[in-house]
């Protein structure tokens, strides 16, 4: 008697395709370049993209609900400015962290309330939030502000040793904890299930008596919180605050989430897919770096092509 192998559910295919793409890209790099196939190269993918992983986790909530958030890059920049200026003014590190997280969460709450109360497209509201956050950066300072606080710099330069001689930073640990928390919220809580329901069909979610209002506002609070936390990680990475930090980072986050298999229409997607999307983008950058003769702008070209391909695949899936 022959047994048929269980079919993989269609909803998993985009995320699995992203993982396969990451494995393929890393395999190509390993075959072409000496030293590419090492554990530290993989660790560096997480080290160099920890802030983007956190940003993509928050963006996944928004896109799953059927929305979009264009303000996240500007909130990252604002968070670096609040961090740097607060530490320069002599604030203790815990107070700076609280101030940064409250700033991002409050901006997310305000945008969510405006979207809900006035029934305005998220694209427009978050575009306004993007300009607002970027403008606030330059109200604080038009120059780059260096971070010289010893505690902050010690955390930024500290390394965690792993088996095999690999090292990671505390940024990576925080990013992975955020991914784990986001997975738990989306798949093990009523809030998370409602996010999927709202993204699939808001009218159906309303008829089922689900708290759609709380979820529609809540996803922007989560996105704002993740953006401000990503700003803290970016401050640790750059050791400075600047109003021109993270220009275009919102597009990188959206690209990572979409390449990771989350439908722009909402209702389908996974946080781990977004993580895989970030690793794909990081691998492309690493390949170009190892190649040595290509311009870094090729990264943007490849990302654009991948984005178009994955959106085309998504449209095909939705029609079926």
Q: Is 41 among the domain residues? A: yes
**Average pLDDT for the chain:** 91
Whole-number Å distance between alpha carbons of 186 and 9:
18
Q: Which of 171, 174, 225 is nearest to 48 (CA)?
A: 171
Q: Is 2 among the domain residues? A: no
Which residues, 6+ apart, have CB-to-CB distance to 287 below 8 Å? 25, 28, 29
- Tokens for 48, please give them: 């160099």
- Contact by Cβ (8 Å): 115, 220: yes
- Tokens for 13, please give them: 């295919």
Q: What is the pLDDT of residue 273?
A: 93
Q: Is 164 among the domain residues? A: yes
The pLDDT confidence band at residue 3, using thresholds 50, 70 and 90, is very low
Whole-number Å distance between alpha carbons of 49 and 290:
17
Q: What is the pLDDT of residue 142?
A: 95
The reply to whether the predicted model has a pTM over 0.85 is yes
Which stretches does DSSP call E strand in 108-174? 145-146, 160-161, 167-168
Q: What is the pLDDT of residue 170?
A: 96
Q: What letter does residue 12 receive in the DSSP assignment?
A: G
Domain that holds residue 73: 10-319
- Tokens for 86, please give them: 């607060």
Alpha-carbon dihedral sign for residues 57, 63, 65, 71? positive
Q: What is the pLDDT of residue 317?
A: 62
Question: Does 307 have pLDDT greater than 50?
Answer: yes
CATH classification of the domain holding 278: 1.10.3470
The pLDDT confidence band at residue 38, using thresholds 50, 70 and 90, is confident
Question: Does 14 have pLDDT greater than 80?
Answer: no
Q: Is 202 among the domain residues? A: yes
Alpha-carbon dihedral sign for residues 118, 120, 126, 129? negative
pLDDT digits (tens, 9 = 90+) for 283-299: 988 988 888 776 767 77
Q: Is 61 among the domain residues? A: yes
CA distances from 312 to 5, 125, 319 (A): 28, 27, 11
Q: What is the pLDDT of residue 318?
A: 58
- Contact by Cβ (8 Å): 178, 185: no
- Contact by Cβ (8 Å): 76, 51: yes
- Contact by Cβ (8 Å): 232, 50: no
Q: Is 1 among the domain residues? A: no
- Contact by Cβ (8 Å): 35, 161: no
* Total number of domains in the chain: 1
Neighbours of 223 (CB within 10 A): 33
pLDDT digits (tens, 9 = 90+) for 56-68: 999 999 999 999 9
Q: What are phi and psi of 146, to 5 degrees?
A: -75, 145
Q: Is 153 among the domain residues? A: yes
The pLDDT confidence band at residue 140, using thresholds 50, 70 and 90, is very high
- Contact by Cβ (8 Å): 97, 255: no
Of 135-139, 208-212, 217-221, 308-312, the least confident: 308-312
Whole-number Å distance between alpha carbons of 238 and 153:
10
Q: Is 3 among the domain residues? A: no
Of 135-144, 151-160, 306-315, the least confident: 306-315
């Amino acid at each position: 008697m022959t047994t048929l192998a269980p079919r993989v559910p269609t909803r998993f295919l985009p995320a699995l395709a992203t993982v396969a793409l990451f494995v393929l890209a890393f395999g190509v790099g390993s075959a072409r370049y000496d030293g590419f196939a090492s554990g530290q190269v993989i660790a560096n993918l997480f080290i160099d993209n920890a802030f983007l992983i956190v940003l993509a986790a928050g963006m996944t909530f928004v896109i799953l609900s059927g929305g979009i958030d264009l303000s996240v890059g500007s909130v990252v920049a604002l968070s670096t400015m609040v961090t740097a200026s607060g530490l320069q003014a002599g604030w203790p590190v815990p107070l700076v962290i609280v101030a940064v997280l409250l700033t991002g969460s409050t901006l997310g709450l305000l945008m969510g309330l405006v979207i809900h109360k006035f029934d305005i497209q998220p694209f427009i509201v978050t575009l306004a939030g993007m300009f607002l956050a970027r403008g606030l950066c330059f109200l604080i300072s038009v120059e780059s502000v260096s971070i010289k606080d010893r505690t902050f710099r010690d955390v930024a330069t500290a390394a965690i040793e792993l088996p095999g001689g690999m090292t990671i930073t505390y940024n990576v640990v925080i990013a992975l904890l955020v991914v784990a928390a986001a997975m738990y919220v989306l798949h093990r809580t009523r809030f998370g299930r409602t996010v999927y329901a709202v993204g699939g069909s808001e009218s159906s979610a309303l008829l089922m008596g689900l708290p759609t209002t709380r979820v529609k506002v809540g996803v922007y609070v989560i996105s704002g919180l993740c953006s401000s936390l990503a700003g803290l990680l970016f401050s640790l990475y750059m050791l400075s605050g600047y109003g021109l930090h993270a220009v275009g980072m919102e597009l990188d986050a959206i690209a990572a989430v979409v390449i990771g298999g989350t439908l722009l229409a909402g209702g389908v997607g996974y946080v781990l897919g977004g993580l895989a999307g970030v690793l794909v983008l990081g691998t492309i950058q690493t390949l170009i770096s190892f190649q040595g003769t290509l311009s870094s702008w090729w990264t943007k070209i490849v990302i654009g092509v991948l984005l178009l391909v994955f959106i085309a695949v998504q449209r095909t899936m939705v029609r079926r």
